[in-house]
A and B are shown apart, each in its own frame.
Chain A
């Protein structure tokens, strides 16, 4: 057996997609703005980039990154444990802690590493890690790395979480519950207040991953924890710099005493080179923008969400359960999903294609993400274009419209 043979099925799946005329592994030939790129020689509208505030081309972020590169070089060439802790890393951590009103914050080189490293380190042998069934891959990978016992509960179901914590109530060992603010596939939000109440009632700790909800939610853009008023009750907030903040990196912030020990226990933090000066500088600049203009950008983002979500609903598409910066268009099967995705790309609009096993419940979907930088015209154009394609694929017949209406 060859060393790559175990992945045969992945190759076969990709080949099948190629034969149906689409290759979802797209190359951006040139990104020209937060909402536009050249793909296959064609100017393409980007509606799948998680660039929620459109800050990737912000002048102050770009200037900060350039200045930091000139001042301190292109990379740190070392981990936070060795030569890679600069004053700017500490400053960013202090600013993030202050942003959340927490005492501690630790920055990691990617958001994936924040979940992988911190979750797998927080719990160990004899402890319990209790996760939502629809958790992101980084959380599942933390489950593989930890020595703790891992239990799943039904997605966004407080009763299911409670049943699991009740069964564990006489077990010694810490219990860590992990949920996300906005789920990245369907764009649905967690019933967080209920999750926090239940977790506390059973003496557990709760960690909330706000990767998709930082910026988009909360009066001060601090995510779902702020939106539902539990910021002072959650034990850990994890986030990323690669979405609203327009760069790359991750963080975890907490008020718990003793948190700093994670710096010498979290292997994904200790054995990776730290973020380069340019990134740290652009993230600090982006965070300043969020603090200054966040309310305005958030309002624009939600206006844009309404344009696409309501427009597509009106047209008769089946969407994720609630208005959200992540809008999932549900399609009946993989063939149709690939076909519609490809037709949209050929019409000059890029979205994410998501098919099993990356999706919950075997769903096939087009995953759109909205930016404050989109114009209403761009999103109306997407509604019109996708509606035309939907008609062509027979997805929007009047019978279907009626079925959707009666299902509500």
Chain B
């Protein structure tokens, strides 16, 4: 028993999007919103303008884990250094799309 936890620690998704080469912006936003749903406060929906660490009940570790999932989903690198500059869902979607284009 070496590499994997016996219990479930992270909830990662390993499936690949239909067209990870050039995802539409809506698709990227939808992917992000879906991952942020569990952290919603009250019944307020997660929108493009949602400020991730302020409007949601999510800590910085969970944000970093979500970014790690997006990296694998779209086969890109989003450095931690960039995550500090990202505040809203829209900004995160833009960052993903920029990386996809620069790939």
CB <8 Å contact, B6 and A407: yes
Q: Which residues of B contact A157 (CB under 8 A)?
A: 3
Q: How many residues of B sit at the interface, in one of the four size bands? A: 20 to 34
CB <8 Å contact, B64 and A152: yes
CB <8 Å contact, A151 and B79: yes
CB <8 Å contact, A189 and B80: no
Which residue of chain A lies nearest to B8 when distances are taken between CB atoms in the complex?
A361
Contact with B along A159-186 (1 / 0, CB 8 A): 0100110011000000000000000001
Looking at the complex, which one of B61, B71, B72 makes contact with A357 (CB distance below 8 Å)? B61
CB <8 Å contact, A167 and B76: yes
Q: Known: A154-B68, A356-B59, A357-B61. Is A149-B5 also a contact (CB below 8 A)? A: no
A357 to B57, CA, bound (A): 13
Looking at the complex, which one of A150, A318, A362, A363 makes contact with B81 (CB distance below 8 Å)? A150
Looking at the complex, which one of A143, A153, A158, A330 makes contact with B68 (CB distance below 8 Å)? A153
CB <8 Å contact, A163 and B72: yes
At the interface, yes or no: A322 with Cβ under 8 Å from chain B?
Answer: yes
At the interface, yes or no: A210 with Cβ under 8 Å from chain B?
Answer: no
Cβ distance B41 to chain A, nearest Cβ, rounded Å: 15
CB <8 Å contact, A168 and B2: no
CB <8 Å contact, A363 and B3: no
Cβ distance B92 to chain A, nearest Cβ, rounded Å: 16
Which residue of chain A lies nearest to B60 when distances are taken between CB atoms in the complex?
A357
A residues adjacent to B (C-beta < 8 A): 133, 143, 149-158, 160, 163-164, 167-168, 186, 188-189, 191, 194, 318, 321-322, 330, 356-357, 360-363, 407-408
> Can you sample 30 A-B contacts with CB below 8 Å?
A133-B64, A133-B68, A143-B80, A149-B81, A150-B79, A150-B80, A150-B81, A151-B77, A151-B80, A152-B64, A154-B10, A158-B3, A160-B72, A163-B75, A164-B77, A167-B75, A167-B76, A194-B3, A321-B4, A321-B5, A321-B6, A322-B2, A330-B7, A356-B61, A357-B60, A357-B61, A361-B9, A362-B62, A363-B9, A408-B6
